[in-house]
Amino acid sequence: MDTRSSFLSGYFMQPTRRSYSKPFKAHVIQECAQPGASIASVALSHSLNANLVHKWIRLQAQKSPALPPAFIPLAMPPAGANSHGDAVHPQIPLVDASHQCFE
């Protein structure tokens, strides 16, 4: 067998991509969500690139449906009703250049 041809064929081989199962990805994402955990340290502990883990987290966030805004009913008094019985007239004190207050 020619060593040169075997070297060249090995040189031109396409690198294979590693694939990870969905449960493994979910486990890594869950570890990253723990308080005090950094994505870089979790990735390193699993021999992964931190950018790959960031990508998994982004994809997971896109797949997860966002919670709709919660509607909280608020009891309001009827229009025109005032608890004091009369209209509210805010009073703003006037101040002149010498900082004296006028009402």
Using a pLDDT cut of 90, give the percent of the chain over it: 41
pTM for the predicted model, two decimal places = 0.51
pLDDT digits (tens, 9 = 90+) for 25-70: 999 999 999 999 999 999 999 999 999 999 999 999 888 777 777 8
| pLDDT recorded at residue 71 | 84
Instruction: Please state, in angstroms and rounded to a whole number, the distance separating the CA atoms of residues 24 and 99.
Output: 70
42 and 53 Cβ atoms separated by less than 8 Å? yes
- Say whether 68 sits in a helix, a strand or coil: coil
Start-to-end CA distance of the chain, whole Å, equals: 106
Q: Is the pLDDT of residue 79 over 90?
A: no
52 and 44 Cβ atoms separated by less than 8 Å? no
| pLDDT recorded at residue 83 | 59
| pLDDT recorded at residue 37 | 94
